Amino acid sequence: MPRYAYVNGRYVAHGEAAVHIEDRGFQFADGVYEVVTVHAGKLVDEEGHLRRLDRSLRELQMPWPMSERALRLVMRQLIAKNGIGDGIVYLQITRGQAPRDFKYPKGVSPTLVMTTRFMNLDPVEQLNHGVKVITIPDIRWKRRDIKSVALLPQAMGKQKAAEAGAFEAWQVDDEGFITEGCSSNAWIVTDEGVLVTRHASNDILNGITRQSLIRLAESAGIPFEERAFSVAEAHAAREAFLSSATTYVTPITQIDEHKVGEGVPGALAGKLREAYLSYARSEGAS
């Protein structure tokens, strides 16, 4: 089956898809993106991702490249054209193509690129054994709430994680509190059984999976606190896990050199993953 990408109004062969060398995404990382999971051919948490996309665009004074309705349609057409059952839609919007100049150009149309990819949404090994994370200093800018394509600090962090045999790196602010993973939100369960994740602010990306998990935890009556937690608290946690669109809830069994709890995936993480999966299969998907 040929693989298509969508670029500025056209479906083109993935291998030949291209944007201009003076695209501001290429020159200034002047763009935003979203990753939406496709589960059994259906988009998961589509509303949340589109609301966050709208927010990212507004914060950067960028217009939508097309109507929201048209964008939803293109996502569905690309999923169908590429025969995606389980996988992702990646969409990126940049300010567009203009002669290189820092300030925002006038009268330029945004660039819209969309691709899809197959993905195993049920990585048995990771789920059975849990994954390792390391902690690293958070060296990013101060607008982490915007889902910008400027991801070099995260690429550096993920590389460090890979070199340490870890799945993810948890970034730590100047006060010793964990902000989030390089591409996921960070969660712990304290010894008292309280679920904790950092509060939403400019310090983190407010994950769409994170927001859905908070709703699910609250309706299940799970004790929950939205606050910063330190590296020491994470090392001493009963459970830990990470969340993102592509990993849902993934249990963590090692943080740096510390075993988390008994060193096996936690019960609460398992319960939340199940709750998220049944949400994704039902009204969460369209």
Assess contact for 113 and 92: CB atoms under 8 A.
yes
| DSSP-assigned letters across all residues of 198-244 | PPPSTTS---HHHHHHHHHHHHTT--EEES--BHHHHHT-SEEEEEE
- Residue closer to ligand PMP (CB basis): 112 or 249: 249
Of the two residues 135 and 185, which places its CB atom closer to ligand PMP in the complex?
Answer: 185
User: What is the rounded CA–CA span in Å between residue 151 and residue 21?
Assistant: 19
147 is catalytic: yes
Tell me: does residue 207 bind ligand PMP (CB under 6 A).
yes
Among 71, 208, 222, 280, binds ligand PMP (CB under 6 A): 208
**Part of the chain binding ligand PMP (CB under 6 A), chosen from 19-27, 204-212, 226-234, 254-262:** 204-212
**Residue 111 makes contact with ligand PMP by CB under 6 A:** no
Q: Cβ neighbours of residue 198 under 8 Å, at least 6 residues apart?
A: 177, 178, 179, 180, 185, 186, 204, 226, 227, 228, 229
Which of these ranges, 1-9, 23-31, 231-239, 241-249, lies near ligand PMP under the rule CB under 6 A?
241-249
Q: Choose among 105, 101, 78: nearest CA to 91.
A: 78
Nearer to ligand PMP, 115 or 184 (CB): 184
Name which of residues 35 to 74 contact ligand PMP (CB under 6 A).
35
| Closest to ligand PMP by CB, 23 or 46 | 46
Which residues belong to the active site?
A: 147
